[in-house]
Amino acid sequence: MEKQQARYVLGKRADDGRYPVTVDGAPTGTVHRRHGSWYATLPGHRIPERFGTRYAAAEHLVTLVDQGIRPTVPAPGDRPTFVLDLRTAGTGLAATRTYQHLVPDLRPTLNNLVRAVEAMARLAQLGWAPLQGYPGADQGWLMECRLCGWTGRRFWSHLRGRNGDPTPRPINRHPGCIPVADMPALLITLAQDRRRQCPCASPHPTTVDAALIALNKVDKALHDGAMLSAAIHARALLEPCPASTLRAAALRAAHDQRTSGQPVT
């Protein structure tokens, strides 16, 4: 087993899957695993490299410290490159919330955005409400159970099912939830919130043509480096909507059309 260097210490894994790292006794950053690779984070600095182990990622933080790089706290008014806190409309939810639509280390690609749209639509079907942005399939996602009000982290890879079976795991949702036998009736009641047409004051894209326009706007903003505009356009894709299922299907079809270059039939 690989041994830790004396200059850094890995702390206990947090609920979001990150391990805090101290270097020479000073809090420095974190390391976390995503899609089989390990990444290091240092507040105020972008670290794109991937590492094979958590120890290699932590050792990279030591290297940065030796180069004179230290964690920095954003000045008042500064915002992350892409992630933007936006007040959601709260449509279809019990209360209005502010949450980051994408976590900072998830790249703002159209593919990730469409996956986030699909995940949030499926959460609505399953009776979950996200309390933060989509973190990817294998990271703990903070959410609220709409059947009983429990809050905690669940893995999207478990909720979406596996190996072609769409049944979420575990079937009992979480410890302390209502009895499994009572869940179908309550989910049917919650399903009454969903619509086949978007009723929101600012219409969301629920047709392929509208979805193509929305994706093109985000893509152009990203290409131009206009991250604030990209985040605002992304809001139309990600904020709560009673027609989220229809929106997700339209955006997936539009994204596939853009990728293949073939019209959707």
Residue-level pLDDT at 89 = 32
What are the start-end ranges of the H helices in 98-207?
110-126, 156-159, 183-191
Is residue 114 a contact partner of residue 252, using CB atoms and an 8 Å limit?
A: yes
Please write the tens of the pLDDT for every residue from 227-252: 778 888 888 888 888 999 999 999 99
pLDDT in tens, 59-83: 999 999 998 888 875 444 443 333 3
* Sequence letter at residue 97: R
| Domain boundaries, given as residue ranges, for the chain | 8-66, 85-260
This prediction has a pTM of 0.67
For 115-145, what is each residue's pLDDT tens digit?
A: 999 999 999 999 999 888 888 887 888 899 9
Does the pLDDT value for residue 85 go beyond 70? no
Residue 123 near residue 241 (C-beta atoms within 8 A): no
- Residue 79's pLDDT is 39
| 21-35, 43-57, 72-86, 183-197: least confidently modelled range | 72-86
